[in-house]
Amino acid sequence: MTQAQLPDPEQLAARILRGERSAVASGLNLLDNKLAGARQRSAHLLAALAGERALNDGHLIGVTGPPGAGKSSLVSAMIRQWRLAGRTVGVLAVDPSSRPELGGGALLGDRIRIKNAAHDEGLFIRSLANRNQLGGVATEVWPMSWLLLACFDVVVVETVGVGQTEIDIAEIGDTVLYVAQPASGDTIQYLKSGIIEIPDIFAVNKSDLGAPAHKTASEIGRSAPRSDRRDGWDYPVCLVSATMNTGIQQLHGHFDRHRVFLADARLLGKLRTRHQSGWVLRVLKEEFGTFGIELLGGYAEIGRRLEEANQFEECERLRQHIISRFKSSD
C-alpha cells in the first residue's frame, strides 16, 4: 500500500466510533502496517480514538490457558451469551506461530467466524496468526485491542498460555480469565509456580467430564490467592462446559463483578493508563534497545513525558526523536 492509499486517521476514527465494521478492519490493518507513513497515521488514529471512553468504558478481557483447554470454544459460548444480552463484541484471537499438531494457523477465528460472525453487525473477530513472539504477545496486539475497545462493549483477546504470554495478557486486559483443563497437572504446577497472581478469574472447562473437572476446580480453589491477600478481589473459580453451554452465565456474572470492582476502586483508568505506558516502553525498547531508552533520558523520564501527553502521539514523537538522533550521529 502506498502512502497515498493509507486511510485518513480522523475520518477512519469517526467511522470506527460509529461501529462501522469495514472501518474497524481497515483500522486494524493500519495498526499492523510497519511502514513509516503508516506508523504516524496509526498514532493519529489511536489518539483520535482515545477519548474518555478509552479509559472508562467497555471491558477488555484477556483469555489464556493451556493449549486445548477449550478457550476458543468457551469464547464462542461467551459471545453467544453476550450477543443474546445485546452487547457488542470484538475478538482478537492470537494464535501461536507453530502448532504442527493442529496444522498451525488461525483456528479459533475460522471456527467462530463461520458460525456467528458473518451476518452479525455486533460481532467482529480477527484472527492473528504468528503473533506470539518469543513466548510473549506481539506488540501490535495491544493497540489493536484498544481500537476494538473504542467501538465494542466487550473486547476479548485470546492467547495460548505459554509462560510470557500470561504476563503479557495481564498487561493488556482489564480482567484476565484463565481457562484450565480438567486433570491437568500443568495447571496446578503453573499455579504453584507463582504466576498465580495473574488471572482474576479461573474457569475449569469441560465440566461435562464430571469428577476430574470438580477435582481440578477445588485444587485451583486451594491454590488461588485469598481475597485478603490482594485488594479485596476474591479470585473466583467456576466450572463451565463450553460444549454443553453450562456455567457461562455465572462466568459472565464474575466478569461484570470484576468490571464493577475495578471501577469502584478507581482502578480501571489507572490500569489502562499503565498498560498503555508499558506498551510505549516496550515498543521503544524493541525497536531501539536500551540504548534508545537511555537516549531519551531513561524509563523514568519517558514515564514522566507520557503522563503529560497523549501516549500514542508521544510514542511516535519519541520514536522520531531517537531516529533523528541516530541519523545525526551517522
Ligand X SMILES: Nc1nc2c(ncn2[C@@H]2O[C@H](COP(=O)(O)OP(=O)(O)OP(=O)(O)O)[C@@H](O)[C@H]2O)c(=O)[nH]1
Rule CB under 6 A: is residue 186 a binding residue for ligand X? Answer: no
Helix 21-32 with 141-149: angle, nearest 10 deg:
160
Residue 15 binds which entry of ligand X, Mg ion, none, CB below 5-8 Å type-dependent? none
According to CB under 6 A, which one of 160, 176, 203, 284 is a site residue for ligand X?
160
Region 229-268 residues binding Mg ion, contact defined as CB under 5 A: none
Q: How far apart are CA 18 and CA 108, in angstroms?
A: 26
Region 159-198 residues binding Mg ion, contact defined as CB under 5 A: none
According to CB under 6 A, which one of 68, 122, 212, 269 is a site residue for ligand X?
68
Residue 243 binds which entry of Mg ion, ligand X, none, CB below 5-8 Å type-dependent? ligand X
Which residue, 23 or 61, is less far from Mg ion as judged by CB? 61
Give the shortest CB-206-to-ligand X separation in angstroms. Answer: 4
According to CB under 6 A, which one of 241, 276, 277, 311 is a site residue for ligand X?
241
**Segment contacting Mg ion by CB under 5 A, of 24-32, 67-75, 139-147, 321-329:** 67-75
Q: How many positions of this chain bind ligand X (CB under 6 A)? A: 18
Q: How far apart are CA 166 and CA 63, in angstroms?
A: 9
* Pair 126, 178: CB distance under 8 Å: no
According to CB under 6 A, which one of 7, 9, 62, 70 is a site residue for ligand X?
70
Rule CB under 6 A: is residue 73 a binding residue for ligand X? Answer: yes
Task: Tell me the backbone φ, ψ of residue 27, rounded to 5 degrees.
Answer: -60, -45
According to CB under 5 A, which one of 42, 64, 72, 165 is a site residue for Mg ion?
72
Residue 206 binds which entry of Mg ion, ligand X, none, CB below 5-8 Å type-dependent? ligand X
Rule CB under 6 A: is residue 243 a binding residue for ligand X? Answer: yes
**Segment contacting Mg ion by CB under 5 A, of 66-74, 126-134, 269-277, 293-301:** 66-74
**Segment contacting ligand X by CB under 6 A, of 54-62, 69-77, 264-272, 282-290:** 69-77
User: 126 is written with which cell numbers?
Assistant: 480477527
User: 204 is written with which cell numbers?
Assistant: 475449569
Rule CB under 6 A: is residue 212 a binding residue for ligand X? Answer: no
According to CB under 5 A, which one of 6, 108, 137, 147 is a site residue for Mg ion?
108
SS (H, E, C) the chain: CCHHHCCCHHHHHHHHHCCCHHHHHHHHHHHHCCCHHHHHHHHHHHHHHCCHHHHHCCEEEEEECCCCCCHHHHHHHHHHHHHHCCCCEEEEEECCCCCHHHCCCCHHHHHHHHHCHHHCCCEEEEEECCCEECCEECCCHHHHHHHHHCCCCEEEEEECCCCHHHHHHHCCCCEEEEEECCCCHHHHHHHHCCHHHCCCEEEECCHHHCHHHHHHHHHHHHHCCCCCCCCCCCCCEEECECCCCECHHHHHHHHHHHHHHHHHCCCHHHHHHHHHHHHHHHHHHHHHHHHHHHHCCHHHHHHHHHHHCCHHHHHHHHHHHHHHHHHHCC
Rule CB under 6 A: is residue 201 a binding residue for ligand X? Answer: no
Rule CB under 6 A: is residue 125 a binding residue for ligand X? Answer: no
* Pair 235, 220: CB distance under 8 Å: no
Rule CB under 6 A: is residue 187 a binding residue for ligand X? Answer: no
Which residue, 13 or 112, is less far from ligand X as judged by CB? 112
Which residue, 41 or 71, is less far from ligand X as judged by CB? 71
Rule CB under 6 A: is residue 67 a binding residue for ligand X? Answer: yes
List interacting residues with ligand X (CB under 6 A). Answer: 67-73, 102, 107-108, 160, 205-206, 208-209, 241-243
- Interface positions with Mg ion (CB under 5 A): 71-72, 108
